[in-house]
Amino acid sequence: MPQVTFKVWRGNKDAGEFKDYQTDITEGMVVLDAVHQIQAENAPDLACRWNCKAGKCGSCSAEVNGNPKLMCMTRMEDLPTDQPVTIEPMQAFPLIRDLVCDVSWNYEVKKKIKPFKPRKPDNADGTWNMVQEDVDRVQEFRKCIECFLCQDVCHVLRDHHKHEEFIGPRFFIHNAQLEMHPLDTEDRLGDLKDENGLGYCNITKCCTKVCPEHITITDNAIIPLKERIVDEYYDPIKKLFKMFKPKK
């Protein structure tokens, strides 16, 4: 493959622009390789995050030709190279510099979610029994690598900036894996309804589409959580029972 032009976002929170860089593309290269090459050849101060380079750590999230992607898993062969390839940072978070944004909000959100609280151990040695069928769904959610691409693409965060009232798909997944964990005894439905803004999600499934781990975020996590909330808080018969239940 020949030289390819990249339009890379350069700048900080105050100002920035796309800058053009040319670099040689060889067989099998991914976008992150191109960014590293540009860094080494032309722009040593070009800021970008990365770690594993194998789709396992979720550090190198960015928007390639407008699509939220892990740069390490986006092959140059899959992109049209007769026109410039644009690379820009995620849009749902404040920019730090170039391709790096401030994702600290995500860490604060997670801290507020009630942690795992297991039931008493099943066995005398302090262990539990769980069968594989009961953990398959939870394991799907636990594949999440926290790349935050689902957060980036979610219009509630990206366009409406509801960061104060809405925790985003990543943390619905996190809630779902806790709520569906066979050992967990905590109840997070009230928080999901009142504090975490689950109701804002109108199931456009954008998050599911961009997930590099192919987690079916909407169908397997968000919709079941919404159903549980309906069952818990809006089921008329249950409501009736609740009225007569002695207060704890």
Which spans of this chain sit near other proteins (rule: CB under 8 A)? 12, 26-30, 33, 39-40, 44-59, 73, 75, 96-98, 100, 102-104, 107, 110-111, 115-116, 118, 121, 125-132, 135, 138-139, 142-146, 177-178, 181, 184, 214
**E strand or H helix at 136, and its extent?**
helix 132-141
Question: Minimum CB separation from other proteins for residue 153, in Å?
Answer: 19
Question: Minimum CB separation from other proteins for residue 134, in Å?
Answer: 8
Cβ contact 92:158 at 8 Å: yes
Structure tokens at 141: 């959610």
Structure tokens at 42: 């032309």
CA distance 76 to 35: 12
Q: Identify which of 47, 46, 77, 72 has the alpha carbon closest to the alpha carbon of residue 61.
A: 72
Question: Minimum CB separation from other proteins for residue 68, in Å?
Answer: 16
Nearer to other proteins by Cβ, of 47 and 229: the residue is: 47
Nearer to other proteins by Cβ, of 117 and 238: the residue is: 117
Question: Minimum CB separation from other proteins for residue 183, in Å?
Answer: 8
Nearer to other proteins by Cβ, of 93 and 226: the residue is: 93
For the chain, how are helix, strand and coil distributed in percent, rounded to 5? Answer: 40, 15, 45
Measured between its terminal Cα atoms, the distance across the chain in Å is 70
Structure tokens at 241: 């029972």
CA distance 50 to 55: 10
Question: Minimum CB separation from other proteins for residue 64, in Å?
Answer: 14
Question: Minimum CB separation from other proteins for residue 157, in Å?
Answer: 18
Residue 197 CA, chain-centre distance (Å), reads: 16
Cβ contact 117:184 at 8 Å: yes
Quickly tell me which residue has 């975490």 as its tokens.
Answer: 196
